[in-house]
Amino acid sequence: MSYTPTIGLEIHAELKTKTKMFCACKNETEKKVSPNVNVCPICMGHPGTLPVANEEAMKKIIKVGIALGSKIPDQAFFYRKNYFYPDLPKGYQITSQESPFAIGGSIQAGDKKIRINHVHLEEDTGKLQHVSESNSSLIDFNRAGVPLMELVTEADISSGEEAKEFCQKLRLILCYLEVSDAEMEKGQMRCEVNVSISQSEKLGTKVEVKNLNSFKAVEKAINYEIKRQKEVLEDGKKVIQETRGWDETTGKTMSQRKKEEAHDYRYLKDPDLPMIDIKNNFNLEKIKADIIELPEQREKRYKEEFSLKKENVGLLVQNKELGDYFEQIVSELKAWLESSGGGPEQKATKLAANYVVSELQKMLVASKTQIGECKITPENFAELIKMIIKKEISSSGAQELLKEMFKTGGDPSQIVEAKDLKQVSGGDEMEKFVDETIKNNSKSVEDYKNGKQNALQFLVGQTMKASKGKANPGEIIKILKKKIVN
């Protein structure tokens, strides 16, 4: 008999802010800084200190809520969630879980709308580092008190694939909103999943899986857990309500602690933090207006306005910085086309997309460079596209030019001059290259005369080679045909 999996997610993401959630310490989790430098009496929980809620963090979480289609309540409160752990200096965590900043909303994953229960704001904990050689633990409080958003979904998900897609979509939205870098590998985004399976309307026993620090791990852990629970039930046993950890090396979930009952955190409204009057203190219309474009909108625009290929759209939407770079090239090209009396804009845009997605991306990956560190300015990149359109360089010349630009960041016209890459078209020189090819490849010439189309391609290739990539392939074909047939 088949079982229906029911899955819910709890996703944490560190917000990108100048300072921590309740004090003026720097929020530098993305940088490598010495341990325990961004600390003060407030985030260390010294007696007599007073927290002040970070306005930037609150604006950012409201922005997330608006983008997800959530309802933003008129008020929010901060609570103390009491528990002891060495990475929590105050002995409690301040959280708005009981009174979130955003309620409801959804994200589309596949053909399913995954509903969101709420998004709340809280503070992160410090980081423990266990040192096995000395059998001790070290603690770094730089992260303690950093603003953290937590998003809780409804249990609408039914497979590992769906969960992975949800997480990827959320990550991209957070990047587009510029509220978080949300890199799972760096711990800026962390995921917990709740999995149960059942054969009836009544839900099965829920198992929580933690330590998921990649999208793949989310997918694999869920699929493993569904399989494991099925085997337990088919053995006639019961699934135990517990927290399990994901072990990447074995590809299995392992029992961490049994949950006999829900924890009692003794939530209480933090008496040091006043009610947050969202309605009167935050301009929701302005926050909404700051949301320039979301991934889905960009995808639609690239398909409809630019008529780009599906694969090109995919990469330029997934990689926001690369997409931004591409748009800068496009605006340069647009200005050029307008000033030069206009031309087929889509052709230039498509060509630019092809060069960015295939050629440039290949070089970035091979050299492990981020687009932000790329030496080619969008202006120079647009210059290269213009040269191709004006037939000043051939496509093989363009590749060589791009390689050089990538290496040196140099000016394209200077490189073309220095490396003698200007395309040869028409005139005696082209005829000379073609004559040479015909003379040296009489077998292929015969083959072409006997109807073998491949032979012509070969001859074009030989001529291109003879011209060192400077000849125009279209013209070569014309001259070759003319000469061979006559």
Residues that bind Zn ion (CB under 5 A): 23, 25, 40, 42-43
Question: Cβ 63 to Zn ion, closest distance in Å?
Answer: 24
Q: Coil, helix or strand for 55?
A: helix
* Smallest separation (angstroms) from Zn ion to the CB of 59: 20
Structural contact between residues 294 and 344, judged by C-beta atoms closer than 8 angstroms: no
**Helix orientation angle between 427-440 and 473-485, rounded to the nearest 10 degrees:** 60
- Give the integer Cα–Cα distance in Å for 225 and 219: 10
In angstroms, what is the minimal distance from the CB of 35 to Zn ion?
14
Closest C-alpha among 470, 327, 304 to residue 400 = 470
CA distance 390 to 8: 55
Rounded to a whole number of angstroms, the minimum distance from the CB of residue 86 to Zn ion is 18
CB 80 within 8 A of CB 267: yes
Which among 283, 279, 272 is positioned nearest to 22, based on CA atoms?
Answer: 272
232 exposed, middle or buried (CB, 10 Å; 0-12, 13-18, 19+)? middle
Min separation Cβ 137 and Zn ion, Å: 22
Query: Min. distance of Cβ 166 from Zn ion in angstroms?
Result: 33
For Zn ion, the closer of residues 40 and 152 by Cβ is 40
Distances (CA, A) of 142 to 70, 122, 241, 484: 31, 16, 34, 75
Which residue has tokens 């006997």? 450
**Alpha carbon separation from 180 to 22, 60, 198, 385, 427 (Å, rounded):** 18, 9, 36, 34, 58
Per the CB < 8 A criterion, the answer to whether 214 and 186 are in contact is no
C-beta closer to Zn ion: residue 18 or 113: 18
Q: What phi and psi values does residue 115 have, to the nearest 5 degrees?
A: -80, 150
Minimum distance from CB of 277 to Zn ion (Å)? 25
- Reduce the DSSP state of residue 340 to 3 states and report it: coil
Q: Which is nearer to Zn ion, 22 or 406 (CB)?
A: 22
State the CB neighbour count (10 A cutoff) for residue 322: 21
Q: How far is the CB of 26 from Zn ion (least distance, A)?
A: 9
State which residue, 53 or 170, has the beta carbon closest to Zn ion: 53
Give the nearest distance from C-beta 38 to Zn ion in angstroms.
7
47 or 372, CB closer to Zn ion?
47
**Which C-beta is closer to Zn ion: that of 42 or that of 459?**
42
Q: How far is the CB of 44 from Zn ion (least distance, A)?
A: 7
What the block records as the tokens of 150 is 């937590």
Cβ distance to Zn ion smaller for residue 43 or 221: 43
Which residues partner with 71 through β-bridges?
103
In terms of CB distance, is 52 or 418 closer to Zn ion?
52
Paired tokens of 61: 């979480």
Query: Nearer to Zn ion by C-beta: 27 or 462?
Result: 27
Q: Which is nearer to Zn ion, 50 or 335 (CB)?
A: 50
The CA-atom distances, in angstroms, between 327 and each of 352, 402, 420 are: 10, 18, 30
